[in-house]
Structure 1
Amino acid sequence: MLYPLSTLALGPVLIGQGRYVRRVTPRLPEPEGERQGTAGKGPELRLLILGDSAAAGVGVSKQQDALAGLLVRDLASDHLVTWSLLAETGRKAVDVLEALKASTEAHYDVVLVSVGVNDVTGRTSTQQWLSALNELSDCLINGMGATRVLFTAIPPMHAFPALPQPLRWYLGMRARQLNSLMENVCSSLDSLEYLCVSFPFEPGFIASDGFHPGPDAYRLWAEHSAISIRKLAQKAAS
């Protein structure tokens, strides 16, 4: 109830602040580097990293320092990792779903998903959000054979330095709501996992735009993801 009431009460202020943020916030490019490949040795692991600008690595200059590069490097120490990155700046959950459907048919063991920030800023409805998450899950598990899908929690937007108040509070509130719904979806299937990583908002953890992850945040995200993926691999082997 608070979210729709706040939308009505603060509408003009929020619109003005949103336009200001878009005008003054630097538009960082997606990093250069490979978006698919094979690395390491050991048991085969087919990995897909899927989603938005954070999945794409915005905030660092090279893919080797972004989520995909760091996660593959970690997992390659004890797996033969065949990996792909399917991510693009600005994508909402429904855009990620459409990109997945349009991609080359492939099968994966594990998929790491990053969606939600653009759904918060783009005011995706609760029903649209749930529908997209459920369809994404079905497509990945039943269509592409994934045994595990990790949905990364939307970061704490109420702490984003690039956002002024009350816009920061408003978007943070909606991020928490969508996270709660995401967590509920993940709890409904054993194949889904809600991955929540706590990032300190310190130098190195936030990019120069005050909005995207910095190199230390990508490192922490990759470490947490690798731990979850290895637990799955150990469980499957036992």
Structure 2
Amino acid sequence: MALDLFARVALFPLLAGQAIWTRKKALNLPEPDGPRRARVGQGPVLRILIAGDSSAAGVGVATQDQALSGQLAGALSREYQVHWHLIAKTGATTQDTLHRLARQDPAPGPFDIAIVALGVNDVTKLVPLRRWLARQAALVDLLETRFGARLIYLSGLPPVRYFPLLPQPLRWVLGRRAERFDVHIRRLASADIRTRYIPLSFEMDAALMAPDGFHPGPDVYAKWAEIVAGHIRADWPPDQT
């Protein structure tokens, strides 16, 4: 902790310059085409809300079929009739998402499950860890009370240290910060019976990422969806739904 703080202070002018350069260099990929809500599959009905940032929105692929929403619905469609709804926005922080969901019509809820993908923008925008955790807790409350979510999956932070867009030492500093956030969101989820933690600790091969070097490609979204689907099957057996 002390070493990380010292490094950030000592390297601040360089890090600030790299951050500005990275924002100018980065490809501005669009959110993918396709519906933001759909019904697919046969079996017991499972209503899923997906909320978050550009990764939840599917930036890095061409269509929602290739994104988390479509891949997850496809993975679950053999056991469930999946009704899914996506509320996500590129650049969103946890605070942005709280405001967006508070204004959102809760229909077509109530939802059985909510899946949250947030944190990278809080890391890069230097939101203090304690404030971020408080907002995550508030988001869990909102998803339960306003949207009726009975079980909430909190995705961990991705391995930012592998993101090829980021130059060193900015990649190392943000990677360390993301790892710290990930440890604490895991603790928050383990302390609340309404929530589950979804690790994103699989190796982020640069060849599997989107052309911008920052977002997942279709194979990474498929891996993420399969991890989430496995947790849902374990927590929500189709023969008991």
Deviation at 1:143, TM superposition (A): 3.0
The equivalent of 1:131 in structure 2 is: 134
Cα deviation for residue 201 of structure 1 reads 3.2
Give the corresponding residue for 1:184: 187
What does 1:30-69 align with in structure 2 at a 5 Å threshold?
30-69=31-70
Q: Deviations over 1:178-229 (max 9, x none)?
A: 1111011101112211101333333652111110001100000011111111
CA distance in 1, matches of 2:148, 2:69: 20
Aligned partners of 2:206, 2:159: CA distance in 1, in Å?
16
AA matched with 2:199: C
Give unmatched runs, 5+ long, in structure 2.
Answer: none
Report if aligned partners of 2:48, 2:112 keep a CA contact under 8 Å in 1: yes
2:215 aligns to what SS in structure 1? coil
Give the alignment partner of residue 217 of structure 2, picking from 192, 214, 217: 214
Percent sequence identity over aligned pairs: 40
User: Normalising by the residue count of structure 2, what TM-score does the alignment of the two structures yield?
Assistant: 0.94
Q: Corresponding residue for 1:143?
A: 146
Alpha-carbon separation, structure 2, partners of 1:154 and 1:232: 22
SS at structure 1 position matched to 2:23: helix
Supply the distance in 1 between the matched residues of 2:161 and 2:41 (Cα, whole angstroms): 39
Q: Which amino acid is the alignment partner of residue 188 of structure 1?
A: A
The 1:29–1:169 alpha-carbon spacing in structure 2 relative to 1, beyond 3 Å, is: same
Deviation of 1:236 (Å):
8.5
The structural deviation recorded for 1:126 is 1.6
Change (3 A) 1:221 1:8: same
Superposed CA RMSD: 1.6
Query: Following the alignment from structure 1 to structure 2, what is the Cα–Cα distance between the partners of residues 92 and 203?
Result: 24
C-alpha distance in structure 1 between counterparts of 2:119 and 2:129, whole Å: 12
For residues 40-90 of structure 1, give each alpha carbon's deviation from its aligned partner in whole angstroms, at most 9, with x where no partner exists: 121111101110000000010011111101111111212111110000100
> Which of the residues 110, 122, 126 maps onto 2:125?
122
What SS does the aligned partner of 2:216 have?
coil
Classify the secondary structure of the residue corresponding to 2:203. coil
Paired letter, 2:200: V
